Structure formats: C-alpha cells, structure tokens
Structure 1
Amino acid sequence: MVELESVAAVADNGVIGDNGELPWPSIPKDKQQYRDRIANHPVILGRTTFESMLDDLPGTAQIVLSRSVDSVEVDTAHVAADADEAVAIAESLGADTASVIGGGAIYELFQPHVDRMALSRVHGEYEGDTTYPHWDEADWELVEATEYDRFTLEEWVRVDRDAGE
C-alpha cells in the first residue's frame, strides 16, 4: 500500500492560495525543502495546479485528478478520475510514497486518506480564496517541528490508522 503524504504551505489563518498563486512573498528555503521532499516519488495534484507547474513539473510522475480531461501531453503525467484511481496509479508505478500537493479541492478529497502531513506553517495571516482542509488534531501526532525564517515545518503522522480507511 502506498503511503500518502499531504505537502502544503499554510498561513496562520489556514490560507494556502489566492487566485492560483501563493498569497505571500516567495520563501526560497520553503520552496527548496518542498521540492526536495517531493522529488523522488509521484505527486497527486489537480489539473489547475498541474497546469500552473508545467514549466517545472515536480516529482517522478504526476497523477492529475480531473473530471474534464482524459489525458495530458506530458510523458510523466497520468490522469485519474478519482482518489482511488490516483492511488492505484501510484501503486502501479511501484511507489512507496505519493505526495498530495494541491490545490484546495485535492487536499480536501485526500485528507481522510493521508498518512502523513508535511505542513510549512507560514508566519502571518494572508488574504486568499483557498484554504487547507480542517483536520482533527486528536487523530494526529506532531512528530517534528523545525523553525525557519518566516515558516515552521511541521511533520504530522496519523495516529488513528483506521480513520483513513
């Protein structure tokens, strides 16, 4: 079974995006740790997020969730109609881990299923139209928190393994 890890940057007020962009000024250190974390396995993302990353696609493969397209013109990309198909594709690629990288609807869809979360807690509150889904901290354990300039990287592990089944 592939392990699902949600990877996101989240402002203090839960905002993750504004009109398809990050709502805060670029944080190079966060961008680098994010890219390093997702570099060696497939990523699961929505079509809009995928299209916004075409110039520099992340991960070893991209599993694009879409209800409107059946295929994309990228050799490393696969299209999935739903979460189960996305996980099946990740498993067919031989992946131990797949990173869920957004956008908002994709995070919401996968939240009950993810095993881990790597959340960059961006210091400050920002205006935006997309938020990270709510989750019950009782189901999770914070296993590591690393302070950086302008953000804290939090590593969460689901403690109630049955909650995602």
Structure 2
Amino acid sequence: MELVSVAALTDDRVIGKDGELPWPSIPADKKQYRARIADAPVILGRRTFESMLDDLPGRRQIVLSRSTQSFEVDSAVHAAGVDEAVDIAAADGADAAYVIGGAVIYELFQPHLDRMFLSRVPGEYEGDSYYPEFDESDWTLVSETEDEGFTLEEWVRTA
C-alpha cells in the first residue's frame, strides 16, 4: 500500500491559520483533492477531523489522537500512532492511504511517504501551520500542472 500526502501550501509552506486555510477558496483545487481521496482511507489528526465533520473526506477516516479514542461517525476509527494508522489502512484493502493533515500529522508521516501531491498556492499568507520541509534530493518531481489559482505538483520518493 502506498502512503500519499495531499496538501495545499504556499511557497513558504504555510498550510493554515487558526484552523482554516489563509487564502480564499480555490474550487478547482478542492475538486481535484476530493476526487483523489474519495474512495480511499484518509489519515488525519483530531483537530483536522473535527474541522471537517460537516463534509468528511475519504471512505474511512483514520484519526490520530492522544486524547479522543472514539468518534460519533461510523466511518472514523482511532489510531494511536503511525504504525497503527498504516495497519488500519492496509487492512481496509486500499491501494493507497492519503495523509491529509494537519501539520503534526504531515511531520509524523513525512519519513514514510511514497508520494506527495502538493497544490502550490501563489502569494504570501500569514499562517501558524506549515507543511514540513523535505529534502528534494530524496524525491523526483514527476509532474507539474498549472490550474486556476494553483499549481499541482506530484512528487515520488526516490531515496
């Protein structure tokens, strides 16, 4: 099973501010993001999960949390750490599991990722959450697609 990170970020790696995106909504990015993860398990932190309760992504939400261990959503399951989250996703029979944030979750999974889909949002925005730095020499940029309001990059781990 492949572990794939999906994130929207600025050139200085900002992904959020006060639990929200700091830039105006980009419908084309939201559409490609939702289509990519629709039929797969997603791995996310508790705060990100709670921020998406009205419109949960993926077919199963694997929620990493130290405090909350059960959820009132049938498709959500708890995981205590990276290994448990990966085991749950693998048991789901999926070809890929998508890591969708927040910042701490991206950081925890960075060493384990096989692929990243990064939507690069132009402009400068203040933020308090950042996508982790990664060594580009360990990755190959296999595609870069300009779209309305963002550029989608696909990175594959090579090292």
User: Which TM class, normalised by the smaller chain length?
Assistant: over 0.9
Mapped partners of 1:70, 1:35: distance in 2? 26
Aligned to 2:85: 86
Alignment partner of 1:133 is 2:140: no
> One-letter code of the match for 2:63?
V
Alignment-derived partner of residue 76 in structure 1: 75
Q: Report the equivalent of 1:163.
A: none
* Equivalent runs, 1:1-12 vs 2, <5 Å: 2-12=1-11
Q: Provide the residue aligned with 2:55 in structure 1.
A: 56
| Amino acid in structure 2 at the alignment position of 1:112 | P
1:150: how far off? Answer: 1.8
3-state SS of 1:20 partner: coil
C-alpha distance in 2, partners of 1:158/1:59? 23
SS in 1 for 2:155: strand
Shift of 1:90: 0.3
Alignment of structure 1 residues 147-158 onto 2, 5 Å? 147-158=146-157
CA drift of 1:149 comes to: 2.1
Count of aligned residue pairs for this structure pair: 159
Normalising by structure 1, what TM-score?
Answer: 0.95
Give the equivalent residue in structure 2 for 1:21. Answer: 20
SS in 2 for 1:112: helix
Distance 2:121 2:60 in 1: 27
The runs of 4+ residues in structure 1 deviating greater than 3 Å are none
Q: Which runs of 5+ in 1 are unaligned?
A: 161-165
Code of the residue aligned with 1:146 in structure 2: it is T
| Alpha-carbon shift at residue 70 of structure 1 (Å) | 1.3
Corresponding residue of 1:123: 122
- Could you tell me how far 1:4 is from its partner in structure 2? 0.4
- Matched with 2:101 is 102
SS at match of 1:152: strand
- Once the two structures are superposed, what CA deviation does each residue of 1:50-77 show, in whole Å capped at 9, x if it has no partner? 0011111100100000000111111111
Over the matched positions of the two proteins, sequence identity in percent amounts to 70
Whichever residue aligns with residue 99 of structure 1, its letter is Y
The structural deviation recorded for 1:37 is: 0.6
Counterpart of 1:56, as a letter, is D
Aligned-partner Cα distance in 2 for 1:150–1:92: 37
Equivalent-residue separation in structure 1 for 2:150 and 2:5 (angstroms): 17
Taking the aligned partners of 1:111 and 1:125, their CA distance within structure 2 comes to: 24
Alignment gaps of 5+ in structure 2: none
Quote the residue 1:44 is aligned against: 43
- Could you give the per-residue CA deviations for residues 91-149 of structure 1, whole angstroms, max 9, x where no partner exists? 11111100000000000000000100000000111100000000000000000000012
Quote the Cα distance in structure 1 between the aligned partners of 2:94 and 2:32: 20
